[in-house]
């Protein structure tokens, strides 16, 4: 739509805030009202509230099912009510394992029993709460008692196993030890089990978030030798949420899978440990020295093994259904009560969770408080705004997933967009989401001031991008997984955003007992300036979506971005072809063997199957057709439309994202419906765009790749038809 198209052009250049006073989606008469409202909103945001609420909400550990977690939910409910929201707590009953037995010992060559306990530190009384601190473990590890030789597998991701294969090292029947990072943690036991390992240990190497990165807690923000990252290892790339109720809400009486049949519990036991506990294990390994890029920051030579180190890993969990309390607060829209703008952040934490998630939650609460206050004073939103505080995000996005599954039809009918936040810090705006919202987010980012530098958060982010070698152009990243937007966008096909600041708040506290208020105040966002900025950005987005005359979806930017993904997939295929051709030539000429050191392990590589040429034309043709349709849509001057037509267009715009899904979902994971974005099957949180096609290619399943090209082409056609329908309204 041409409507406010000018502002889009301006937003693409480094612009001053004063130049940013034109916004997409409003008629000239309503634009000023909206900007005045947003200004009033911004002015009322108070950092002191965030600070005070963080102290309240992170005072005690509050993982799902805890007494303090329930208290937090009830306190949040109370706040929303006091601010004028129609508020309820929706409760789900979800499987949650609590660690009963955690034993890890090195049995050979010299015995060592892992301590599995982080130490309290001076100056942080929260770390002294002893038994109240959740023991370190990986939720949804299976029970197990295994003993075997140890193998170091670097990050434990697919390319690490390729390297092991080259060295002729097999993990079958072994226990692997993998570093945290390099992928979402759940990929490590999943892949290890696929390769035949019988146990998995994950540790935080000091190179990744310990002393190599900076001074350790309490001197600095990074992980001391005893810190352990907790976290879920549920197979979320298959489906997130309650493991026993795939695809439907875990209500009290829901039919549940038998636990032994739950496909998303790991196949092998897995335990996270500190680098203090990892060092004796790693030091006891012999065999090949690990490749350069695998080596961490411990003062040892990293060997791969297998053995002579042998370890014994014994894990037992108390598997119970726990209540998950989702707080849902609704502010009814005056004009379009059945069009909902949703906004959410989880409230459960692994331990105190000052950063994750409370820093994001307090921003959401402050935003809700002011929106509520403005409404009380008569500045009510035209559309309904729904604020959510999710429970049980940490063990696997459970609270949000169950709620979305439970209300799926209504949500698909009513929700304009879901805007998510989670832990927040100091630095640069990170924004991911549906690319039809990029222009709007770009405009908002140009309107909010950076609390440190006196320019817009957009300018600051673009500056950082340029310093890092980028072009300094604002853009949304594509969403994979890792927070509560997943059930909305991936499963229900609802347009979604995920927002947060960071980049100047590094630390090693993530999911440890050190993610506390004192740590946050010293190292994250001491003045809560970025907490307020987050409330400002997310609040303005929420208000614009709630009040827009024409919903600010824009498809040219979407088309540019998705065309880029298609180019990327085609180029990757070409690169694979070139690499295989080169590899096979080198195998034929025996080059690998000639270059190999005969004193070191070496497995002679074999020829690889040649990469066939895929027919990408269906996708290219659909993208070309879409371009024409979108150009027509965006060329229309909607300011001249009748109110009736406008409302019709809005009704259509709300559901546009859903036409990018396919009911069958992705191969082997039908829960994931979206055809443009998905978390990678072997990356976890990391996104795969055009996932059906891309992952089939990456897995070299050419038949499936061609099938998925057809599926995606038909999805794109469906999207095209849908926009054509809007064009016919114009």
Contact residues for its own copies (CB under 8 A)?
A: 14, 206, 211-216, 220, 222, 289, 295, 297-301, 427, 452-453, 455, 459-460, 463-464, 466-467, 472, 504, 586, 589-595, 597-599
Q: Which residues have C-beta within 8 Å of that of residue 340, sequence separation ≥ 6?
A: 333, 383, 384, 385, 386, 411, 414, 415, 416
CB 462, min distance to its own copies, A: 8
Name which of 410, 393, 413, 411 is nearest 401 in CA terms. Answer: 393
Using the minimum distance from each CB to its own copies, give the nearer residue, 147 or 452. Answer: 452
Task: Give the Cα separation of 697 and 570 in Å (integer).
Answer: 10
Q: How far is the CB of 362 from its own copies (least distance, A)?
A: 22
Min dist. Cβ of residue 99 to its own copies (A): 29
Query: For residues 545 and 383, is the Cβ–Cβ distance under 8 A?
Result: yes
- Distance, in Å, from the CA atom of 531 to the CA atom of 360, rounded to the nearest integer, reads 7
On the CB side of 54, CA atoms within 13 Å amount to 31
Q: Which is nearer to its own copies, 9 or 467 (CB)?
A: 467
Q: How far is the CB of 587 from its own copies (least distance, A)?
A: 11
CB of 464 to its own copies, least distance (A): 4
Closest contact distance (angstroms) between CB of 223 and its own copies is 12
Residue 362 CA, chain-centre distance (Å), reads 19
Q: Please, what is the minimum distance in Å from the beta carbon of residue 698 to its own copies?
A: 22
Cβ at position 208, least distance to its own copies in Å: 12
DSSP run (H or E) holding 144 = strand 144-152
Sign of CA dihedral 719, 679, 364, 247: positive
Q: Residue-wise over 302-325: b if at least 16 C-beta within 10 A, else e?
A: bbbbbbebbbbbbbebebebbbbb
Q: What residues pair up with 101 in beta bridges, in sequence order?
A: 316
Tell me how far, at minimum, the Cβ of 471 lies from its own copies, in Å. 11
Q: In whole angstroms, give the CA distance from residue 186 to residue 139.
A: 10
List the beta strands (DSSP E) in 402-470.
Answer: 415-421, 427-433
Nearer to its own copies (CB atom), residue 236 or residue 532: 532
Helix (H) or strand (E) holding 497: strand 496-503
Give whole-number Cα distances, 534 to 20, 420, 422, 483, 510, in Å: 18, 11, 10, 16, 20
Closest CB to its own copies among residues 409, 468: 468
Minimum distance, C-beta of residue 424 to its own copies, in the bound complex (Å): 16
Of 506 and 695, CB closest to its own copies: 506
Closer by beta carbon to its own copies, 213 or else 573: 213
Nearer of residues 130 and 598 to its own copies, judged by Cβ: 598
The whole-angstrom separation of Cα 326 and Cα 328 is 6
Are 483 and 236 in contact by the 8 Å Cβ rule? The answer is no
For residues 9 and 594, which CB has a smaller minimum distance to its own copies in the complex? 594
| CB atoms closer than 10 angstroms to residue 146 | 18
Residue (393 or 505) nearer to its own copies, CB: 505
State residue 121 phi and psi, 5-degree precision.
-125, 155
CA distance to 508, 540, 670, per residue, from 205 (Å): 10, 40, 35
CB of 522 to its own copies, least distance (A): 11
Shortest reach from residue 609's CB to its own copies, in Å = 21
Interatomic CA distance for residues 38 and 26, integer angstroms: 13
Query: 377 or 600, CB closer to its own copies?
Result: 600
**Given the complex with its own copies, which of 435 and 461 has the nearer CB atom?**
461
CB of 602 to its own copies, least distance (A): 11
Contact between residue 26 and residue 357 where contact means Cβ atoms under 8 Å apart: no
User: What element of type H or E holds 498?
Assistant: strand 496-503
Q: Report the nearest approach of its own copies to the CB of residue 212 (Å).
A: 6
Task: Classify residue 548 by burial, with Cβ atoms within 10 Å: 0-12, 13-18, 19+.
Answer: buried
Length of the chain: 730
Q: Which residues pair with 497 in a beta bridge?
A: 419, 433
Cβ nearer to its own copies, comparing 216 with 548: 216
Q: Which residues contact 657 (CB under 8 A, 6 or more apart)?
A: 434, 436, 489, 493, 494, 495
Q: Spell out the residues 6+ positions from residue 698 whose beta carbon is closer than 8 angstroms to its own.
A: 572
Shortest gap between Cβ of 506 and its own copies (angstroms)? 10
Q: What is the DSSP secondary structure assignment for residue 596, as one 8-state letter? A: S
Neighbour tally for 241: CB within 10 Å: 32
Nearest distance, CB of residue 231 and its own copies, angstroms: 25
- Based on CB atoms, which residue is closest to its own copies, 126 or 474? 474
Among the listed residues 278, 243, 238, the one whose alpha carbon sits nearest the alpha carbon of residue 139: 243
CA distance 722 to 553: 14
Rounded CA gap, 84 and 90, in Å? 18
Neighbours of 648 (CB within 10 A): 16
The burial of 592, by beta-carbon neighbours within 10 Å (0-12 exposed, 13-18 middle, 19 or more buried), is given as middle
CB 323, min distance to its own copies, A: 42
Least distance CB 599 / its own copies (angstroms): 7
How many Å apart are CA 394 and CA 94, to the nearest integer? 13
For residues 452 and 561, which CB has a smaller minimum distance to its own copies in the complex?
452
């Amino acid at each position: 739509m041409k409507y406010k198209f000018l502002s889009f052009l301006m937003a693409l250049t480094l612009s001053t805030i004063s130049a940013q006073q034109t916004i997409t989606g409003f008629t000239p008469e309503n634009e000023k009202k909206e900007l005045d409202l947003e200004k009033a909103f911004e002015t009322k945001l108070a950092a002191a509230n965030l600070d005070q609420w963080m102290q309240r909400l992170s005072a005690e550990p509050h993982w799902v099912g805890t007494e303090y977690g329930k208290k937090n939910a009830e306190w949040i409910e109370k706040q929303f009510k006091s601010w004028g929201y129609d508020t309820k707590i929706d409760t789900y009953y979800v499987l949650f394992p609590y660690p009963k037995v955690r034993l890890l010992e090195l049995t050979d060559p010299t015995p060592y029993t892992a301590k599995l306990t982080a130490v309290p530190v001076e100056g942080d009384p929260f770390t002294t709460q002893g038994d109240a601190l959740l023991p370190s473990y990986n939720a949804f590890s299976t029970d197990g008692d295994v003993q075997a030789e140890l193998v170091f597998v670097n990050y434990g991701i697919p390319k690490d196993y390729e390297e092991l294969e080259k060295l002729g090292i097999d993990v079958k029947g072994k226990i692997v030890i993998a570093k945290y990072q390099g992928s979402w943690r759940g990929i490590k036991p999943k892949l290890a089990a696929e390769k035949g390992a019988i146990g998995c240990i994950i540790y935080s190497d000091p190179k990744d978030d310990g002393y190599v990165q900076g001074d350790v807690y309490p001197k600095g923000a990074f992980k001391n030798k005893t810190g352990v990252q907790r976290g879920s290892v549920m197979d979320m790339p298959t489906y997130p949420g309650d493991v026993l109720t795939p695809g439907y809400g875990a209500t009290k009486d829901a039919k549940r899978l038998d636990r032994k049949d739950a496909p998303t519990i790991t196949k092998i036991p897995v335990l996270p440990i500190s680098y203090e506990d990892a060092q004796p294990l790693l030091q006891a390994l012999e065999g090949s020295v690990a490749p350069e890029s695998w080596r961490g920051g411990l003062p040892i030579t990293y060997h791969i093994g297998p053995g002579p180190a042998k370890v014994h890993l014994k894990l037992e969990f108390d598997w119970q259904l726990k209540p998950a309390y989702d707080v849902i607060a609704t502010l009814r829209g005056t004009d379009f009560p059945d069009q909902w703008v949703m906004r959410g952040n989880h409230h459960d934490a692994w331990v105190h969770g000052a950063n994750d998630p409370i820093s994001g939650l307090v921003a959401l609460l402050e935003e809700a408080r002011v929106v509520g206050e403005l409404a009380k004073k008569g500045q009510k939103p035209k559309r309904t705004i729904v604020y959510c505080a999710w429970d049980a995000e940490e063990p696997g996005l459970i609270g949000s997933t169950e709620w979305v599954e439970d209300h799926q039809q209504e949500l698909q009918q009513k929700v304009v967009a879901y805007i998510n936040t989670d832990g927040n810090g100091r630095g640069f705006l990170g924004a991911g989401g549906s690319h039809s919202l990029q222009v709007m987010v770009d405009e908002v980012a140009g309107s909010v001031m950076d609390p440190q530098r006196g320019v817009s958060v957009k300018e600051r982010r673009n500056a950082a991008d340029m310093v890092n070698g980028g072009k300094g152009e604002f853009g949304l990243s594509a969403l994979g997984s890792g927070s509560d937007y997943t059930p909305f966008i991936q499963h229900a096909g609802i347009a979604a955003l995920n927002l947060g600041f960071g980049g100047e708040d590094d630390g090693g506290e993530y999911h440890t007992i050190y993610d506390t208020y004192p740590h946050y105040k010293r190292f994250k966002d001491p003045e809560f300036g970025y907490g307020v900025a987050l409330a400002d950005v997310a609040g303005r987005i929420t208000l614009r979506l709630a009040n827009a005359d024409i919903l600010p979806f824009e498809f040219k930017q979407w088309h540019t971005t998705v065309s880029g993904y298609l180019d990327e997939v085609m180029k990757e295929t070409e690169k694979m072809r070139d690499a295989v051709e080169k590899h096979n030539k080198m195998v034929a000429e025996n080059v690998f063997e000639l270059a190999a050191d005969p004193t070191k392990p070496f497995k002679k590589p074999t020829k690889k199957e040649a990469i066939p040429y895929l027919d990408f034309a269906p996708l290219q043709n659909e993208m070309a057709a879409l371009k024409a349709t979108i150009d027509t849509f965006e060329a229309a001057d909607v300011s001249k439309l009748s109110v009736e037509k406008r409302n019709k267009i809005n009704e259509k715009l709300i559901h546009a994202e859903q036409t990018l899904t396919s009911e069958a979902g992705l191969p082997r994971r039908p829960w994931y419906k979206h055809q443009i974005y998905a978390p990678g099957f072997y990356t976890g949180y990391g996104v795969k765009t055009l996932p059906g096609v891309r992952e089939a290619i990456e897995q070299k399943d050419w038949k499936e790749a061609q099938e998925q090209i057809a599926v995606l082409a038909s999805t794109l056609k469906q999207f095209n038809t849908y926009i054509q329908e809007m064009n016919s309204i114009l």
